[in-house]
Amino acid sequence: MNPKSTSVLAASFCERLRIRLSGYLIRMSGRILEELHSPARIKEFEYIDPITNEITYLSTGARYSVLHVGGKQLFFSRVTGRFDGTCTSLLERVADGLELTD
């Protein structure tokens, strides 16, 4: 038997074992964080719907993670992860205010 083929089989077994263990550890840490009600770690993203061309994106700041869907902004606390409220963009509020005063 060729010694190279034995090392390839051993390496692939070790690699498969490493992948299974890392998957198990990720699942277990997720379950523990869920039980502790720990807020999720969220990265900023942007998604453009190919059918409607609507842009959905997430921005993060020191106090809030803000989910932008169309003209709405949904605020989530960075510490607790709880929903904190909604609002429309500042430009829309100013425009609405100007229209009401005319």
* For the chain, domain boundaries: 1-38, 40-102
75 vs 1, residue with greater confidence: 75
Looking at the chain, how many residues does it have?
Answer: 102
Is a pLDDT exceeding 60 seen at residue 89? no
pTM for the model: 0.54
Does the structure show a pLDDT above 90 at 47? yes
Burial 12-26 (b: 16+ CB within 10 A, else e): eeeeeeeeeeeeeee
Among 73-77, 82-86, 92-96, whose mean pLDDT is lowest? 92-96
Please list the residues that pair with 8 across neighbouring strands.
none
What is residue 58's predicted lDDT score, i.e. its pLDDT?
92
d(CA 81, CA 91): 27
Q: Would you state the structure tokens that stand for residue 34, as one six-digit string? A: 């869920």
> Helix or strand or coil: residue 68?
strand
Name the residue type at position 5. S
